[in-house]
Each structure stands twice: as structure tokens, then as C-alpha cells.
Amino acid sequence: MTNHPNTSPSNATAVAHPNIAFIKYWGNYDDRLRIPVNGSISMNLASLETETSVRFDPALSADRIEINGASATPDAARRVSDHLDIIRQMAGIQTHAEITSRNNFPMGSGIASSASAFAALSLAASTAADLALNLKDLSRLARRGSGSACRSIPGGIAEWHAGTQDNDSYADQFVDEGYWDLVDCLAITSESHKPVGSSEGHLLAITSPLQRLRVTDAPRRIDCCRQAILSRDFEAFSVVVEQDSNLMHSVMSTSQPNLTYWNEITFDVLTATVELRRKGIEACYTLDAGPNVHVITLKSQIRTVERYLKRIIGVLRIVVAPIGTGARLVG
Ligand code: PMV
């Protein structure tokens, strides 16, 4: 290994959006490589983003990492440096880096901040290290930092092909951001950090007797979701999206020890979403590992959905996100 040659580009800035999964990833077949037990489908969230700058500097004796204006916690710094080690190894360099990352949304509260963070970091750091990765290899790299990050590399609605090894586990675009007018009306019920992170949660999935059933049925749900999206059939889409979210939360709540990410307001938002649908409004819910509820609707229904959800006591605010583009370089 050598130090980074002074003649190569050594800094880059990238932006990536988080994503919300319609068909969820929960549990790994290989924890170290983050090879999931089932495939998944998600949309990128346009109005939310992480911007990350990476500068390799031969003068540094350690990585210097700043997240949202403060030095990274030891755990976060370790995870970022581990990811940089993979990139350094791919590029054949040993140089340390200065990393500055900023989110425009709260971290660790059921909005997948690790997805946009590792997608932006993978693109910025691999570019700064002079690795010209194609979209598949970039998605594979992002996956190593946080599984769901592989789905934030392509734009629009992405499908993560589970695969069985590092080479064949990656996400690509299923349809682009203009294909369907889906919008996420995200009801924020808490801004605090989740008690158990997803990496730890994935390890517990296997302890639930329901996990096997969830995984065995996943190809059927993926197929239903693909068909519903292709034919823009919101009714069929609602059925499979809510079923998949409920299955994942059933696994979480029957793991040992069990995981509960909901709070009391979460349930009120779920009930309100079902009520909206009964009134003929296209709306369905899905929850990641956090208490905030992603209510998926159509562009034409945003106002109605927003107004309805805002009335729920305990809902702090609504964040509206149409389908977003893929990760991109901005500097
Ligand atoms: O990528 P991770 O390790 O943060 O896991 C994400 C897990 C869920 O957000 C709960 C589901 C998903 O598919 O995004």
C-alpha cells in the first residue's frame, strides 16, 4: 500500500437521499457483509438529504470526522473509519481523511439516516480515492456501510437483489422518479434517537419464530409490490406495503429480547391512515425502525393527507417527500 499520490483527486462532495422501504430488509444471511435474508424495494425521499465531503490528506495521522457540526461519537467514527478502510483497501492507499457530513433531517428516529449517510460517503470517498465505480459496484460498496444504503445509490424506486455473496447483492433502479406520483407524508411523532439501532436489530430477527415465515413469503410480496407499481395500482400497493410493514414489526415485537419502536402517537397515525383510505383517499402506512409513520399517498392528495394527519395530537410536524433521485456528486 502507498500513500495517496498528490496528483490524483483527493477530495469530493456527494449528496444522497434516505429511502423508505415498501418491502423491508430485516435480518442478514451474512452480518459482516450485510447480505440480507430477503430482497427489498424502496423509494428515495427527495426533500431529505445528507451531504458529505471527503478529503484525503497525507498530513493526517487519523480520520477526522464531523457530523452535523460536531465531532462524531466514538461509535459513529469507528463505523465511518471501517467503511473508509474498505475504500482504502480497494484503492491501495493508506491516507487518512477529513470527513464532514450534514443531514437536513433528524438522525436515528426511523428516517433512514444511515442509508443516505453511507450512500453519500461511498460516492464521495470512492471518488476522492480515484476509484471510478459503476452504479452496481457503488451500491455494493454502500451496502457494506448500511444495508439499506445500497438502495439510495440508484434514483427513483429501487430494488435490492438479495443475492448470496458480495458480488451479487446490490440495488438497481426499478422505475425512475417520474414513473408514479407517489409522495411520502412523514408524520414525525418523536425526534429522539431510537434505543436499539438497526444493525443490532438485524441480529435479533432470527430469534423470532415469525421471521422464517416473513422471509419465505418475501418473494410473493416483492412480486405483488412490483406489479402494483408497474400498473400504478394504489389499492394493491396499499395491501402489500402495510402487510410487509406489519410483518416486520411483528418479528421485532416477538424477538428475544423484543423490540418496540412505536410510541402511543404512532398507533393514532396508523388508525387515521386507515380512516383516510375508507374515505376514498389513496393513503397507506409503513414504519421503519422508529416511531415516525411514513404515510404514502399520491401528489393529488398531499393537502388532504397533511391536513388530516396534522390534527392528530402528538404529531409534531409533517415532512413531505416526493420520489428522489440517486446519489450524485456536487463538488
Ligand atoms: O440499513 P439498516 O441496517 O439501517 O436497516 C434498515 C432496516 C429498515 O429500515 C427497518 C428496513 C429497510 O428495508 O429499510
Chunked in runs of 10, what are the mean pLDDT values of the chain (331 residues)? 50 97 98 98 96 97 96 96 98 97 74 89 98 97 98 98 98 98 95 82 97 98 98 98 98 96 95 97 96 97 98 95 98 85
| Residue 110 alpha carbon, nearest atom of ligand 1 | 9
- The residue to mutate among 19, 26, 121, having the most atoms of ligand 1 within 8 angstroms of its beta carbon, is 26
Distance CA 68, CA 45 (A): 19
Among the atoms of ligand 1, which is closest to the Cα of residue 20? 14
Which of 222, 288, 294 to mutate to test ligand 1, by most ligand atoms within 8 A of the CB atom? 288
Name the residue of 43, 121, 148 whose CB sits within 8 Å of the most ligand 1 atoms, as the mutation to test its pocket: 148
Ligand 1, closest atom to CA 24? 13
Q: What is the structure's pLDDT at 7?
A: 46
For residue 25, the CA-to-ligand 1 centroid distance in Å is: 6
Hey, whose CA ends up nearest to atom 9 of ligand 1? 288
| Distance (Å) from CA 110 to ligand 1 centroid | 9
Alpha carbon of 188 to ligand 1 centroid (Å): 18
Q: Identify how many contiguous H helices and E strands the chain contains and give both numbers.
A: 9, 16
Residues in contact with ligand 1 by the CB-under-6-Å rule are 21, 24-26, 40, 112, 114-115, 146-148, 198-199, 202, 288-289
- Distance, in Å, from the CA atom of 246 to the CA atom of 159, rounded to the nearest integer, reads 20
In 3D space, the residue among 114, 139, 230, 148 whose CA is nearest the CA of residue 182 turns out to be 230
What is the Cα–Cα distance from 329 to 306, expressed in whole angstroms? 32
170: cell is 446490490
In this structure, which CATH number among 3.55.40.20, 3.30.70.890, 3.30.360.10, 1.10.132.20 belongs to the domain 182-322? Answer: 3.30.70.890
Q: d(Cα 287, Cα 262) in Å, to the nearest integer?
A: 9
Task: Tell me if domain 11-176 and domain 182-322 are identical in fold.
Answer: no
Residue 55: C-alpha distances to residues 100, 108, 128, 162, 187 (Å): 9, 26, 7, 32, 36
Domain ranges of the chain: 11-176, 182-322
Angle at 184 between CA 178 and CA 186, to 5 degrees: 160
Looking at the structure, give the CATH architecture of the domain made up of residues 11-176.
Answer: 2-Layer Sandwich (3.30)
Helices 113-128/135-145 angle, 10° precision? 120
Burial of residue 253 (CB within 10 Å: 0-12, 13-18, 19+) is: middle
- CA of residue 5 to ligand 1 center, whole Å: 37
| pTM for this predicted structure | 0.95
pLDDT at 107: 62
> Ramachandran region of residue 154, left (φ > 0), alpha (ψ -120 to 50) or beta?
beta
Ligand 1: residue whose CA is nearest its atom 4: 198
